[in-house]
Structure 1
Amino acid sequence: MVAFGKKLKDRQIQEWQGYYINYKLMKKRVKQYAQQIQLGTLDRRHVLKDFSRMLDNQIEKIVLFLLEQQGLLACQITKLGEQRDALQEEPEISKIIELREAYRALGQDLLKLLFFVEINAIGLRKILKKFDKRFGYRFTDYYVKTRANHPYSQLQQVFKHVGLGAVVGALSRNLHDLQDRQGSYLSIYDQPTLPLQDPVVDSINAAVDRLTNSTNFLNFLGQHALIMHEELPSPSEEHVDDQRYHFMSLLLNLANTFLYMVNTYIIVPTADDYSMSLGAAPTVCGIVIGAMAVAQVFSSVYFSAWSNKSYFRPLVFSSIVLFLGNILYALAYDVSSIWILLIGRLLCGFGSARAVNRRYISDCVPLKIRMQASAGFVSASALGMACGPALAGILQINFKISKLTFNQNTLPGWVMAVAWLIYLVWLWITFKEPAREAEEDHTPHQSNDEVNNALEKGLKQPLLISSENKVDEDADQDCDDSEEAPEESRQPVNSIVMAYRLLTPSVKVQLLIYFMLKYVMEILLSESSVVTTYYFNWSTSTVAVFLACLGLTVLPVNIVVGSYISNMFQDRQILLASEIMVLIGVLLSFQVIIPYSEPQYICSGLLLFVSAEVLEGVNLSLLSRVMSSRLSRGTYNGGLLSTEAGTLARVVADATITLAGYVHQSMLLNVTLLPSLFICVTSILATCFTYNSLY
């Protein structure tokens, strides 16, 4: 694995090398500042001003060269336009083909310029993060606040490619006009999404979208899976070996995701009744529901490590454990044991193989369809979340076979046990383990002993990364003057403590937000049955319908946000607005002096759930940009940290519901909402404090 500075240099266009950001020089300057501050020969205020001036000079160099190249491209497009006008009077097929090829060649030049801008934008983000790591995040806060919103902002020209849009539009329009659709009066302005668009235009549009953080539904939905793409672009992006891709194996991973989410939420409408039937308080449903999350805190780690060696074996283990867990959950009714019930749910949590499902997509699915697979992963989760309660609402029957009882409490266990048994047979027959040799080709050359040691430690392969060649901004450790860093500094982290040390204030705030949104969602979902039974006397079927409707909002909300809202506003703006909406949803959920009504509960719950869902996608999108690249690989990666934060939030939320059972049931709602209110306000304040560093 090479250091970021070296990889940045390797990706540069040779004839433009003098115009790229001088990352190596600025990295050394950061180190010098640190030494001078330590010796007391320089104060922080001077560092702030001096480094700002240095960055301004670097950005000005980039922008002036960008403007020069834009002018050259515009001149060439103008000349080609004159040739096109001449051909309209005397059309010749050979000259039309020749002109189209000239436009395509010009498109390749534009693509090179877009990559030039993107590499410089990445370099700027990297050096800002490196500076913040040394001196705290206040520099990025200061620099972005003073430069990004200035009317003469050159920073915006790098990050938002100001001016290139006109060149992209002119080239796209002319290429479209020259396509083999003579006689058509449609243009790109009449029909923006064209079915037979020139491949070079597709590449240009993709580069523009990456540079501006523009997105669409698939991209936005795929971000929920925390599967990240190659950060340093290249005009010819490498693809995963198609021979490793097996459609049925991908389908099995998505089915595992779907069934696990069904398994998680199928008991929510009946958990309070089940607890009462075993002699416990209805609020013990919090422990029953949360037991699965408690076990998942541990299972996420060992499944993450296990997936370094195999995909098939962990999926088989997951299916067997979930089968046994559901059997115990169902049998607890007839043996009248709350402990059997809890052990069954714990076993279900120990079978959570979501880390394996993510890993398979990132490692074995070709890049050209990886975003669709990531969106499929999130869609399977959302569909499972909606189907779980809906299925519980259908299972409203009561009968006995021998000494076994089948009713609304036990049927979720029996049904899921059968589902996992069928899945296990399907998995055994059709899953294809991908060849591991292909993965080794993407790693640095090592001896067999080194490879075996890395495998044993579970650190060799990444969990949430689209390319083994992903760069690492922390590879250039400040302890070394050279461009190359010590080998160990470029390895994935091998402990949770080391991972925590890599978290900047911005990343910690993002994880806090993730904790908050998962906490409020879990409070809403897990106590829904108890609250609605007490206040509105809802039946199990009514609760199931309500929860299923909440789950069904996930995909429509993501379509709106991914296709429209995320392209109109910055991610950090949507982030803060979503947090405020979650806060409003929490405030509206409180029971005040007036009687608590169904419309109040439904509207506040819907607002809270939808806002939290929007917040999750935007938060994970930002997290992937501000998190250290070292946390994109290995067992203890950023995806695992996020999963652990969310799972811990669910555990704490479910424990809160159970502890709140010691107060009177009329106070349950307000008591459980108070921590939600506190955590939500804290996350909003933390976001405001780090707002300008989320760039």
Structure 2
Amino acid sequence: MVGYGKKLRELQIQEWKGYYINYKLMKKKVKRYVEQMEVGAQNRHNVLRDFSMLLDNQIEKIVLFLLEQQGVLAHRLSDIGKEHNTLFQQPNSINISELQEAYRDVGRDLLRLLTFVEMNAIGLRKILKKIDKRFGYKFTDYYVKTRANHPYSQLRQVFRQVGIGAVVGVLSHGLADLQDLQQCQGSYISIYDQPSYTHQDPVLKSIKAAVGRLSNSTNFLQFLGRHAFTMQEELPSPSEDQIVDERYHFMSLLLNLANTFLYMVNTYIIVPTADNYTLNLGAAASVCGVVIGTMAVAQMFSSVYFSAWSNRSYLRPLVFSSIVLLIGNTLYALAFDMNSIVVLLIGRLFCGLGSARAINRRYISDCVPSKLRMQASAGFVSASALGMACGPALACLLQTDFRIYKFTMNQDTLPGWVMSLSWLIYLLWLWICFKEPAHENEANLVLYEATTGPAVHVAVENEPTQPLLMNSEEKEQDEEGEEENDNAEETKKPVTSIVVAYKLLTPSVKVQLFVYFMLKYAMEIVLAESSLITEYYFIWSTSNVSIFLACLGLTVLPVNIVVGNYISNMFEERQILLTSEIMVCIGLLLSFHIMIPYSVTQYVGSALLTFVSAEVLEGVNLSLLSKVMSSRLSRGTFNGGLLSTEAGTLARVIADGTITISGYFSESNLLNTTLLPALLICISSIIATCYSYNSLY
């Protein structure tokens, strides 16, 4: 496997080789510090001081070179600007196309500079993660607090790109002027009056994307896509991109998103009627928590085996998922006529065992080209949000009561019958149209033969196929006799054990997983107990509950538009994270019923605040999680997507269990009893975030 150090050298611009971060040197320093501390030759304070000085020197080298190159680009733009002014005074003296190309040449060189900065930023993050893993996150906490928060921070130059904007502004203005002049419009468009004009040139689009990767700059599509948490390698090689292109199939991606949509409809279509269904079967209304939560319990197990199954196939597990969901929904519908709460729970258990969300995420990560992955991720989140809104809305339309032969069709059973029919149609569509992508090992083999010609290969079980005859260059060791491959954290070897995955979780990763647990717990409490609370306090009908839940689901996209286009461009992600957690906490506090009569305004307002804040928190949380999590968790069975799914599912299970247990004590105290654990968990997550705040960089 190619380590990060070797990949870094492969992607380096050779004439700038001496100005890149010396990742190899710092990695050896970390190893030496560990050995010295183990024998007592170094103490933690000296290590922090010495390594900080080393990192300061590396960052200073990068920043000074960056400023020097910016000066070169500024000088070139100044010369082009003189010709530009001459053109306006003497229109026929200079060729417009040549001047445009001169601007674009500067833009292309700026792109090279941005790539240089991006690679160094990745290297810095990796070395910070490495030393945190060895010594605890106190180093990043100390370094960011003393360096990044300083008014003369050089670290901020690498990660925030303050000076690049001026160069981009000159390029944008110059190209806009020339295009206007070339079209003989004579209006001399200003980039300040019409900002969208700056995005017309392809070079400027590429620069904008590169700046966005380095800074807080983002948009609705990027912010929405983060919710999918489809982890990927930070430095993908061209060969890997080519492999993914070979595996991409649009109809298969569409089927994958349809699976996501149907599963979310399946999850939330029963929420407005679950309490009524359990009452009709002779159980307490609060048992609806178990009915809803049974699906989440089964999903905890299904996520693991589906993630493992997707190492070999995507079609077969999706077919199996559809069949299991068809059976589960049929059992859910039949429970009414069989008058059996057991059959009802078994039906929901089957629905959870059919959860293929691990495959949905994995397919996007592995089979969608990087240039389309953000759109596909946003599609995944949009499909989930739409399904979440459509589920309760559909339940609202199923308010009827009739019989077909011996089967009862009413508001309790129709959700099961409708979803059974939906999964049957989906299964047929899947079987006809889904194209199984080539296995990753097979794709590697085809690509190798296509680029190097026929060769003899050896297949080793459970290992990627490797050429028998390797180039001598690939067998070379580094200058000091060490193997070039980095240690386990930097290799691309997939994580196949939960024990190994846990070892890769640094304290900051654990904090972010806990934050994810908290937000899912709070959202589940709000959604799952809505029918019970509104019936007890406001005597709402099933239709009213359905409309309320559908409206909550419909807030997802507008909220992400606002946050993605505006808020995330004004504040750092860690600032938005902490603020969102505090807003969730406020929403939960406002939800409590204390002394004064409980009103619809208080309930709806507090629920909306909690849900929207949790939705904002999810995007920022998963974005930060992808930055602090080891790159080894981007693939394999126990990948980052699976870990976050398990954390969120566990939160739903515990929340639904809390609702059921609280309902057995007293329905009048149900609201406060369920909100109290959510509030305590939320406060704990805020404290944990403050504790690890400076490591979220």
TM bin (shorter chain) = over 0.9
Q: Tell me which residue corresponds to 1:694.
A: 696
- 1:47-446 alignment runs, 5 A limit: 47-92=47-92, 95-179=95-179, 180-183=182-185, 184-194=187-197, 197-232=200-235, 238=241, 242-436=245-439, 437-438=442-443
Q: 1:132/1:481 Cα in 2 relative to 1: closer, same or farther (>3 Å)?
A: farther
**Partner AA of 1:484 in structure 2:** N
- 1:33-52 alignment runs, 5 A limit: 33-52=33-52
- 1:528-547 alignment runs, 5 A limit: 528-547=530-549
Q: Distance in 1 between matches of 2:505 and 2:316?
A: 32
Q: 1:312/1:503 Cα in 2 relative to 1: closer, same or farther (>3 Å)?
A: same
How far does residue 76 in structure 1 lie from its aligned partner after superposition?
0.7
Q: Is the 8 A contact 1:326 1:344 kept in 2?
A: yes
Match of 1:495 among 494, 497, 502: 497
Match of 1:453 among 462, 472, 480: 462
Moved more, 540-549 or 361-370: 361-370
- 1:590-629 alignment runs, 5 A limit: 590-629=592-631
SS of 1:178's equivalent?
helix
Q: Distance in 2 between matches of 1:487 and 1:31?
A: 14
How far does residue 56 in structure 1 lie from its aligned partner after superposition?
1.0
SS of 2:217's equivalent?
coil
Q: 1:484/1:426 Cα in 2 relative to 1: closer, same or farther (>3 Å)?
A: closer
Q: Is the 8 A contact 2:578 2:689 kept in 1?
A: yes
Q: Distance in 2 between matches of 1:433 and 1:53?
A: 52
How far does residue 359 in structure 1 lie from its aligned partner after superposition?
2.2
User: What do residues 231-285 of structure 1 show as CA deviations (whole Å, max 9, x unaligned)?
Assistant: 2378999456545332222211111111100000000011011111111111110
**Partner AA of 2:512 in structure 1:** Q
**Partner AA of 1:485 in structure 2:** D
Q: Distance in 1 between matches of 2:533 and 2:309?
A: 40
Moved more, 286-295 or 101-110: 101-110
SS of 2:408's equivalent?
strand
**Partner AA of 1:438 in structure 2:** A
Identity of aligned residues (%): 71
Q: Is the 8 A contact 2:241 2:369 kept in 1?
A: no
**Partner AA of 1:333 in structure 2:** F
Q: Is the 8 A contact 2:21 2:120 kept in 1?
A: yes
**Partner AA of 1:136 in structure 2:** G
**Partner AA of 2:120 in structure 1:** N
**Partner AA of 2:47 in structure 1:** V
Q: Tell me which residue corresponds to 2:516.
A: 514
SS of 1:523's equivalent?
helix
Mark the runs of 5 or more structure 2 residues left unpaired by the alignment: 450-454, 467-476
Is 1:643 matched with 2:653? no
SS of 2:195's equivalent?
coil
Moved more, 595-604 or 244-253: 244-253
How far does residue 558 in structure 1 lie from its aligned partner after superposition?
0.6
How far does residue 677 in structure 1 lie from its aligned partner after superposition?
1.0
Q: Tell me which residue corresponds to 1:654.
A: 656
Question: How high is the TM-score relative to the length of structure 2?
Answer: 0.93
Q: 1:146/1:379 Cα in 2 relative to 1: closer, same or farther (>3 Å)?
A: same
Q: 1:507/1:447 Cα in 2 relative to 1: closer, same or farther (>3 Å)?
A: farther
User: What do residues 395-414 of structure 1 show as CA deviations (whole Å, max 9, x unaligned)?
Assistant: 11011122211111001001
Q: Is the 8 A contact 2:517 2:650 kept in 1?
A: yes
How far does residue 345 in structure 1 lie from its aligned partner after superposition?
0.4
Q: 1:130/1:32 Cα in 2 relative to 1: closer, same or farther (>3 Å)?
A: same
SS of 1:399's equivalent?
strand
Moved more, 497-506 or 9-18: 9-18
How far does residue 313 in structure 1 lie from its aligned partner after superposition?
1.4
Moved more, 288-297 or 190-199: 190-199
Q: Is the 8 A contact 2:495 2:501 kept in 1?
A: yes
Q: Is the 8 A contact 2:325 2:350 kept in 1?
A: yes
How far does residue 433 in structure 1 lie from its aligned partner after superposition?
2.1
Q: Distance in 1 between matches of 2:306 and 2:252?
A: 17
Q: Is the 8 A contact 1:571 1:622 kept in 2?
A: yes
Q: Is the 8 A contact 2:226 2:619 kept in 1?
A: yes
Q: Is the 8 A contact 2:132 2:140 kept in 1?
A: yes
Q: Distance in 2 between matches of 1:116 and 1:228?
A: 22
SS of 1:41's equivalent?
coil
Q: 1:420/1:140 Cα in 2 relative to 1: closer, same or farther (>3 Å)?
A: same
Q: 1:155/1:237 Cα in 2 relative to 1: closer, same or farther (>3 Å)?
A: farther
Q: Distance in 1 between matches of 2:617 and 2:212?
A: 21
Q: Tell me which residue corresponds to 1:549.
A: 551
Q: Tell me which residue corresponds to 1:18.
A: 18
User: What do residues 440-479 of structure 1 show as CA deviations (whole Å, max 9, x unaligned)?
Assistant: 55799995532x4248xxx99xxxxxxxxxxxxxxx9xxx
Q: Is the 8 A contact 2:216 2:571 kept in 1?
A: no
Q: 1:234/1:658 Cα in 2 relative to 1: closer, same or farther (>3 Å)?
A: same
User: What do residues 48-91 of structure 1 show as CA deviations (whole Å, max 9, x unaligned)?
Assistant: 11111111111111111111111111111111111122222333
SS of 1:201's equivalent?
helix
SS of 1:115's equivalent?
helix
Q: Is the 8 A contact 1:318 1:351 kept in 2?
A: yes
Q: Is the 8 A contact 2:587 2:610 kept in 1?
A: yes
SS of 2:437's equivalent?
coil
SS of 2:462's equivalent?
helix
Q: Distance in 1 between matches of 2:259 and 2:9?
A: 42
Q: Distance in 2 between matches of 1:54 and 1:241?
A: 38
Q: Distance in 2 between matches of 1:523 and 1:514?
A: 14
Q: Tell me which residue corresponds to 1:469.
A: none
Q: Distance in 2 between matches of 1:136 and 1:648?
A: 27
Q: Distance in 2 between matches of 1:191 and 1:151?
A: 33
Q: Is the 8 A contact 1:240 1:365 kept in 2?
A: no
Q: Distance in 2 between matches of 1:117 and 1:233?
A: 16
Q: Is the 8 A contact 1:532 1:543 kept in 2?
A: yes
